[in-house]
Amino acid sequence: MTVLSGGFADPATEAAQSFRAILEAVARPGRIFDVTGVTPPAPLSVAAGIVLATLADHETPVFLAGHCDSPEIRAWISFHCGAPFAPAEEAAFALGTWADLQPVTRFRAGEPAYPDRSATLIVERETLAPRGCRLSGPGIPGEAHLNLPEAAAFQANHARFPLGFDVIFTAGAQLAALPRSTRTEAL
């Protein structure tokens, strides 16, 4: 694979479809969505590549952690997204495993006048499953379940609402979101 390959074959259509899937995931926390359209370099998942190719651009600094911080992945993001790279504290998007992104308190949580100036964490997982922590709040009729890496950090993040970070979990060709407005409860 070269840096020039692996992007959207039909950028206008596929980016719109990907944007819709991401929007649906954020609007319906805990629901798992299948996505296709890009083939990023290993070990980056298809879903993480989709999120970056759809949402990242020259105005959204990206922080890469752990195995996601490789020359191949940096080159792919630079070519397909045009996004600059930044330290964790300045990033609009942060990509890595949950362990690699620690401590998550270093990421932007917005400001009282501008809560939207926060980071979105793209957390790579081995699998996504509708079990585990109980989720409730906006966009969730009743309750939902998602296998979160832990509950405490998401409870603390929700307690800061309207400040806090948002999360998009990715695994293979699947994604799910956990906005800061979502309440989590460990089971």
Dihedral in degrees, nearest 10, Cα atoms 76, 101, 121, 187: 140
The confidence score (pLDDT) of residue 2 equals 60
Q: What is the percentage of the chain residues whose pLDDT exceeds 70?
A: 98
Q: Which two tokens stand for residue 3?
A: 């840096």
Q: What is the model's pLDDT at position 3?
A: 63
pLDDT value of position 11: 80
Which tens digit of pLDDT belongs to each residue from 149-161?
999 999 999 999 9
Sign (positive/negative) of CA torsion 34, 79, 58, 16?
negative
Banded model confidence at residue 12, pLDDT cuts 50, 70, 90: confident
The pTM (predicted TM-score) of the whole model is 0.95
Residue 38, pLDDT > 70, answer yes
Q: Taking every pair of C-alpha atoms in the chain, what is the biggest distance, in angstroms? A: 46
So where are the chain's domains?
A: 11-185
Evaluate if residue 10 carries a pLDDT over 90: no
Per-residue pLDDT tens over the stretch 72-114: 999 999 999 999 999 999 999 999 999 999 999 999 999 999 9
- Mean pLDDT of the 20-47 span: 95
Specify the residue for token string 């409730």. 136
| Range with the poorest average pLDDT among 8-17, 31-40, 120-129 | 8-17
pLDDT at 5 over 80: no
Topology annotation, domain 11-185: Rossmann fold (3.40.50)
Task: Measure CA of the first residue to CA of the last residue in the chain; give whole Å.
Answer: 43
